[in-house]
A and B are shown apart, each in its own frame.
Chain A
Amino acid sequence: MKIGVRCKPHDSIAMQLRLEQVSRQEGAEVHLYPFNLLLEPGSLTVLLGATQAGKTSMLRVLAGLDVPSKGSIWVDGRDVTGMAVRLRDVAMVYQQFINYPSMTVAQNIASPLKLSGRLEATAIDRRVREIAQRLQIEPFLNRLPAALSGGQQQRVALARALAKSASLMLLDEPLVNLDYKLREELRDEFATLFSGGGSTVVYATTEPAEALLLGGYTAVIDAGELLQYGPTADVFHQPKSIRVARAFSDPPINLIPAEALTDGVGLGRDYVLNLRIPLDRLPAGGRGLMLGIRAGALDLLAQPLKSGVLAVPAKVALAEVSGSDTYIHLETPLGNLVVQRTGVHPFDLGDSVTVGIDPAEVYLFDAHGDLVFAPERAARRAALTRRTH
Chain B
Amino acid sequence: MARIQLDIAHSYRANPQQEADYALLPLRQTFEDGGAYALLGPSGCGKTTMLNIISGLVNPSQGTVRFDERDVTQLAPQQRNIAQVFQFPVVYDTMTVAQNLAFPLRNRGMNEAGVRARVSVIAEMLDLSGQLDQRAAGLSADQKQKISLGRGLVREDVGAVLFDEPLTVIDPHLKWQLRRKLKEIHRELRLTLIYVTHDQVEALTFADSVLVMARGRVVQSGSPSDLFERPAHRFVGHFIGSPGMNFVPIQLLKSTSGARVQGGAAVATIVPSQTMTLGIRPEYLRLGPIDEPGVLRARISRIQDLGSSWLLSARVDSQPAGGEECLLRVRLERSSAVPAEDEVVGLRILGPHTCFYDAQDQRIAPDQEGAARC
Binding site for B on A (CB under 8 A): 149, 179-181, 184, 191, 208-209, 212-213, 215, 232-233, 236-237, 294-297, 317-324, 327, 329, 340, 342-346, 349, 377, 381-382, 384-385, 388-389
Cβ contact within 8 Å between A295 and B179: no
Contact call A342/B331, Cβ cutoff below 8 A: yes
| B303 and A296 form a contact (CB under 8 A) | no
A180/B199 in contact, CB under 8 A = yes
Q: How far is the CA of A296 from the CA of B306 in the complex (A)?
A: 10
Across the interface, A294 reaches (CB within 8 A) one of B198, B200, B204, B308, namely B308
Assess whether B241 is interfacial by the CB under 8 Å rule: yes
Query: Least Cβ distance of B242 to chain A in Å?
Result: 5
Say whether B254 faces chain A, with CB atoms less than 8 Å apart.
Answer: no
Binary interface profile of B, 299-319, with partner A (CB < 8 Å = 1, else 0)? Answer: 000111111110100000000
Whether B304 lies near A179 (C-beta < 8 A) is no
Which of A180, A215, A319 has a CB less than 8 Å from the CB of B304?
A: A215
* Bound CA span A297–B307, Å: 9
Within 8 Å by CB of B180, from A212, A349, A389, lies: A349
Min C-beta distance of A362 to chain B, whole Å: 14
Q: Are A320 and B306 in contact (CB under 8 A)?
A: no
| CA of A297 to CA of B338, assembled, Å | 18
Q: Of B183, B198, B302, B307, which contacts A318 at CB under 8 A?
A: B183
Q: Which B residues are in CB contact (< 8 Å) with A295?
A: 308
Q: Assuming A191-B302, A318-B205, A349-B183, is B176 touching A343 (CB within 8 A)?
A: no
Question: Which of B187, B204, B281 has a CB less than 8 Å from the CB of A321?
Answer: B204
Q: Which 10 A-B pairs have the closest CB atoms?
A: A296-B308, A321-B204, A344-B228, A318-B180, A323-B200, A323-B241, A324-B241, A233-B305, A320-B205, A385-B305
B71 at the interface (CB under 8 A from A): no
The answer to whether B184 has its CB under 8 Å from any CB of chain A is yes
Interface residues of B (CB under 8 A from A): 42-43, 176, 179-180, 183-184, 187, 198-201, 204-205, 223-225, 227-229, 238-244, 281-283, 302-309, 311, 331, 333-335, 338, 340-341
Besides the contacts A179-B198, A323-B240, A342-B333, what 8 more A-B pairs have beta carbons closer than 8 Å? A318-B176, A318-B179, A323-B200, A342-B331, A343-B283, A344-B224, A344-B229, A385-B338
Contact present for B242 and A180 (CB under 8 Å): yes
Given contacts A179-B42, A318-B183, A349-B183, contact A297 B305 (CB under 8 A): no
Q: Please tell me if the beta carbons of B303 and A323 are within 8 angstroms of each other in the complex.
A: no
Q: Establish whether residues B305 and A321, one from each chain, have CB atoms under 8 Å apart when the complex forms.
A: no
Q: Which residue of B lies closest to A213 (CB)?
A: B304
Closest residue of chain B to A233, judged by CB? B305
**B345 to chain A: closest CB distance in Å?**
13
In the complex, chain A residues whose CB is within 8 Å of the CB of B331: 324, 342
- Cβ-defined contact, A324 with B302, below 8 A: no
A346: chain B residues at CB < 8 Å are 223-225
Contact of A389 among B240, B281, B309, B341 (CB under 8 A): B341
B159: min CB distance to chain A, Å: 25
Cross-chain contact A296 with B309 (CB below 8 angstroms): yes
A258–B283 CA distance with the chains assembled, in angstroms: 34
- B283's partner among A149, A324, A329, A389 (CB-CB below 8 A) is A324
Could you tell me if B303 and A389 are in contact, using CB atoms closer than 8 angstroms? yes
Q: How far is B204's CA from A180's CA once the two chains are assembled, in angstroms?
A: 14
Contact partner of B305 (CB less than 8 A), chosen from A180, A320, A382, is A382
**A377 vs B228: C-alpha distance in the bound complex, in angstroms?**
31
- A sample of 27 cross-chain residue pairs with beta-carbon separation below 8 angstroms, ordered by A number, consists of A149-B43, A179-B198, A180-B242, A181-B244, A213-B304, A213-B311, A294-B308, A296-B308, A296-B309, A318-B179, A318-B180, A318-B183, A320-B176, A320-B201, A321-B204, A324-B282, A340-B308, A342-B331, A343-B228, A343-B283, A344-B228, A344-B229, A349-B180, A349-B183, A349-B187, A384-B338, A389-B303
B180 touches A329 (CB 8 A): yes
Q: In the docked arrangement, what's the CA distance between A371 and B351, Å?
A: 43
| A296–B334 CB distance below 8 A | yes
Cβ of B243: which chain A residues have Cβ within 8 Å of it?
184, 324
Most buried by A among B198, B229, B306, B333: B306
Known pairs A322-B242, A342-B331; A385 contacts B225 (CB<8 A): no
Q: Are B242 and A323 in contact (CB under 8 A)?
A: yes
Q: Which residues of A contact B180 (CB under 8 A)?
A: 317-318, 329, 349
The reply to whether B224 and A321 contact each other, CB–CB distance below 8 Å, is: yes
Using Cβ atoms and an 8 Å threshold, which residues of chain A touch B223?
Answer: 346
Shortest beta-carbon distance from A136 to chain B in Å: 15
Q: B225 — which chain A residues lie within 8 A by C-beta?
A: 344-346
Q: Which residues of A contact B224 (CB under 8 A)?
A: 321, 344, 346
Contacts of A294 in B (CB 8 A): 307-308
Residues of A close to B179: CB separation below 8 A: 318, 320
The reply to whether B176 and A184 form a contact with Cβ atoms under 8 Å apart is no
Closest partner residue, chain B, to A320 (CB atom): B205
Asked, given contacts A349-B180, A349-B187, A388-B340, whether A322 binds B201 with beta carbons under 8 Å apart, the answer is: yes
Contacts of B229 in A (CB 8 A): 344
A296 partner residues in chain B, CB cutoff 8 A: 307-309, 334
Contacts of B334 in A (CB 8 A): 296-297, 381
Across the interface, name the chain A residue whose C-beta is closest to B243: A184
